[in-house]
Amino acid sequence: MERLDKILVSQGVGSRKEVQKLIRSKRVTLNGEVVTKPETKLDAESSEIAVDGQALNVKKYIYLMLNKPQGYVSATEDNLHKTVLELVPEDFKRKGLFPAGRLDKDTEGLMIITDDGDFAHRILSPKNHVWKTYYAELDGEPDESVVSAFERGITLDDGTKLLPAKLDLLGNNRVRVKITEGKFHQVKKMFASCGFKVIFLKRESVGGLSLDGNLPKGSCRELTNSEIAAVFLVK
Ligand code: URA
């Protein structure tokens, strides 16, 4: 059960103040009856909400793009560190939100936060070949032999065999790397196995979805339908 005003805000009807005004001015109905209390609790899935007689097609899940800054952990709760969920504005907050894929505390960039478990699973499962693209700065200049090693699939020191990855050399110790898996510290471990330390790491895209260059660090916004679909387009 959720508050009516919160549901309307989450569906993009307006800000908290605006929707409260709409409700108080009798422009919102719940199962055909006018409601005047913004705090009315209801189950959005089984109720029919209308604004000015126009039925609202309540979206089941929420999909957010976060421009993750350094210093936040990709967890829903943590006793020691700030979590990425603390960056989600109140109006987008709902039960069951979690980051679809982890970034290290010192990694920044594109993070998708959702409450749709199947969607997250599809992104993360290597079977689906959703390429995750990272920009990295290293403590040295890799050469073509590293590109080939990534292409063949790196075997980590603990014996873990990784899937082939794509590496672009950008010069001045900078690279762009694409992987389909998301193992713990994967990019850092791949470079470590070739003798390099990653000193800066930023995720630029997930599948065909790129980080919005106009989204300030630490901010979050809803994904559009075409952006949600773009995640599964090959890039
Ligand atoms: N690989 C890493 O090593 N760290 C990240 O945060 C993401 C991928």
CB 114 within 8 A of CB 231: no
Provide the token pair at 228: 């949600």
Q: Name which of 25-39, 91-105, 174-188 the model is least confident about.
A: 91-105
Pick the catalytic residue: 104, 106, 118, 168? 104
Does 5 participate in catalysis according to the annotation? no
> Which CATH class name applies to 63-230?
alpha beta
Model confidence over 11-21: pLDDT tens digits? 878 889 999 99
Model confidence over 154-201: pLDDT tens digits? 999 899 999 999 999 999 999 999 999 989 999 999 999 999 999 999
Residue owning the nearest CA to atom 7 of ligand 1: 103
Question: Residues for the chain: how many in total?
Answer: 235
Q: Which of 72, 74, 84, 107 to mutate to test the pocket of ligand 1 (most atoms within 8 A of CB)?
A: 107
Please provide the average confidence, as pLDDT, over all residues in the chain: 94
* Residue-range domain boundaries for the chain: 2-55, 63-230
- Whether 87 lines ligand 1, by a CB cut-off of 6 Å, is no
The CATH superfamily label for domain 2-55 reads RNA-binding S4 domain (3.10.290.10)
pLDDT at 9 over 90: no
Counting from 1 in the atom list of ligand 1, the atom nearest the Cα of 179 is: 8
State the Cα–Cα distance between residues 7 and 181, nearest whole angstrom: 35
Residue owning the nearest CA to atom 3 of ligand 1: 185
- 168's CB contacts (< 8 A; 6+ apart) are 175, 176, 177
Percent of the chain with pLDDT over 90: 79
- Whether 178 lines ligand 1, by a CB cut-off of 6 Å, is no
pLDDT at 89: 92
pLDDT at 235: 54
